[in-house]
Structure 1
Amino acid sequence: MDTIQARLKAVIEVVTDERGRFAELEKLTKVSANSWKSFWHGRQRPTCDMIEAICARWPHFAFWIATGITDAKYGHVSSRGEATYPEKRRARRKKAEEYWELASAMLGWRRHCELNQDVQMDGVSERNDEIRLLELEIGRNAEQQALAGIEDAGLINDLVKLKTPSYLLDDEHDNKEN
């Protein structure tokens, strides 16, 4: 997966149903189904609107779509859940994903209100979203702390192996077999 086009397609495959995919994308992104079809079948490159819409709707994939790099520790994952070199595979950060989704939705709504002067933000809903976002941030931090201890132990073990001369590791391996 070394192009934005390939990564974008990989996300679309995961988040949409094969049947009615383009109509679903049109409904979710406000980009025409015909444009999605043209992109899907290689007749056009993805537009900025397509990339922005997918990244806004599924923000936990945005960093990977743009760079080809995952940063799972902070909730930035690939559509297939794989880690990209040199990152180690990490446990899924569900609270981070929820946080990114709500933050993206809040930003999208704010932009919509700014563009459409006749639409007003509901103060109660906005406050409830801010409260939920703070709750998710606390949950995201707690999840990160819990998982970091486990993952750091594995990283320390890998570091010790890399810093240990191979002839010592071979002797250790030979002693275990005997």
Structure 2
Amino acid sequence: MEALTGIPATSWNKAFHGKQRPTLEMLLAVARLWPDYAFWLMTGVTDAKHGHVSCRKAAAKSFYPERSFRRRKAARGYFLHLIEMFNRTYGDGDGFESDAEELEARAELALLELARDNEEQLLNNPTRLEELVKLYQAAKNELDSPAPTDEP
């Protein structure tokens, strides 16, 4: 953890063994490394609909008050990119070198948000997801099959 966060290993060990409470700096570092777990870490509840999940390996177990629990893969990329943009804009990281670079980052964020929203729609509409999987498999089979030849 020291290599990932810059926080001394002794602090992490003390917090792990209950000899000290995690510092705000430690919580912030963990939340930035694993933003999809940040909401759960700070509140104790999940918001899987928006990509805020628990790190517990309990896909079958729902956490109150949610009815279903599905991990969102697209949310993590969105959260990480948003955190990077925040850091670059407000001083924790290197600023954007140009307006064009910032515009490119905003465009990437919009694409990641679209992917996150599409994933949510597909997970909430299993019938449409099944249709898309079938279309994908048919297209893959078509591409994997040998090309027809003109020979008799």
TM-score (norm 1): 0.61
Change (3 A) 1:120 1:147: closer
Query: Which residue type is aligned with residue 33 of structure 2?
Result: R
Residue among 94, 102, 106 paired with 2:73: 94
Change (3 A) 1:34 1:110: farther
Q: Distance in 2 between matches of 1:93 and 1:120?
A: 29
1:113 is displaced (CA, Å) by 5.2
Counterparts of residues 1-178 of structure 1 (less than 5 Å): 25-82=1-58, 83-112=62-91, 120-123=95-98, 124-150=100-126
Q: Is the contact made by 1:59 and 1:100 (CA closer than 8 Å) also made in structure 2?
A: yes
Change (3 A) 1:89 1:75: same
SS in 2 for 1:37: helix
TM-score (norm 2): 0.71
Unaligned runs of 5+ in 1: 1-24, 152-178
Query: Which residue type is aligned with residue 112 of structure 1?
Result: G
Query: Which residue type is aligned with residue 67 of structure 2?
Result: K
Query: Which residue type is aligned with residue 79 of structure 2?
Result: W
Deviations 1:19-49 (A, max 9, x none): xxxxxx1222222222111111211000011
1:68 is displaced (CA, Å) by 0.8
Deviations 1:82-138 (A, max 9, x none): 431231233221111211111112212333358xxxx54222443332221110111
Q: Percent identity?
A: 38
Ranked by relative contact order (alpha carbons within 8 Å, sequence separation 6 or more), the top structure is 1
SS in 2 for 1:91: coil
1:77 is displaced (CA, Å) by 0.3
Change (3 A) 1:74 1:120: closer
